[in-house]
Amino acid sequence: MLLIFLVVGFLSAKLMPGEAPVFYMELPPMRLPQFRNVVVKTLSRIRSYFMEILPLFLLASFILWALKMMGALEKLIALLSPAVRAIGLPVEATSAFVFGFFRRDFGAAGLYDLQFKGLLTATQLTVAAVTLTLFVPCVAQFLMMKKERGLKVSLGIFVFVSLCAFASGWLLNKFLLTTGLLL
């Protein structure tokens, strides 16, 4: 994963427009913070975060419920299952990726359930965990990206990150199976 982060950072620096950052910055005088200021600022930021992100989490939960009620969730899982099988995971792991997009914690819980039931080997669990970690952040994060960068850029990021995550999972699976490090 460190290699992936380094490569993506290098490519982003080369491909993204903008000025290169300078290596120095002026530091303000360092003072011991006042407890009251820290509490007020922390509470203010927590409130701001919840006011912005809570509706997005509720929206994600509602979308997930609506997709399940309409039967579209099963179709979405069937659509993604070839990619999940290609990285060496059982079809049952597909739901963890779909749920992981809507709520990241649901994806991790899905992997835990599969491991608990004995459906994943150590290699498969490692591949699934790495791929889910690199996979597109949850729908709330996607909506924040859309708000900050626009739909076109957000969809581009979505496609690139998804392809990168599954390609990394495929390479990791091949590496682990070839070397026999985790069986």
3-class DSSP assignment, residue 163: helix
- Residue 109 located in a structural domain: yes
Task: Measure the CA–CA gap between 126 and 122, rounded to whole angstroms.
Answer: 6
- Residue 61 located in a structural domain: yes
Residue percentage of the chain with pLDDT more than 90:
42
Specify the DSSP class assigned to residue 32. Answer: P
Backbone angles phi, psi at 135, to 5 degrees: -65, 160
Residue 79: alpha-carbon gap to chain centroid: 19
Chain segment 28-59, per-residue pLDDT in tens: 788 898 999 999 999 999 998 888 878 877 88
Q: pTM of the predicted model, to two decimals?
A: 0.73
Structural domain count, the chain? 1
Q: Which domain holds residue 52?
A: 48-179
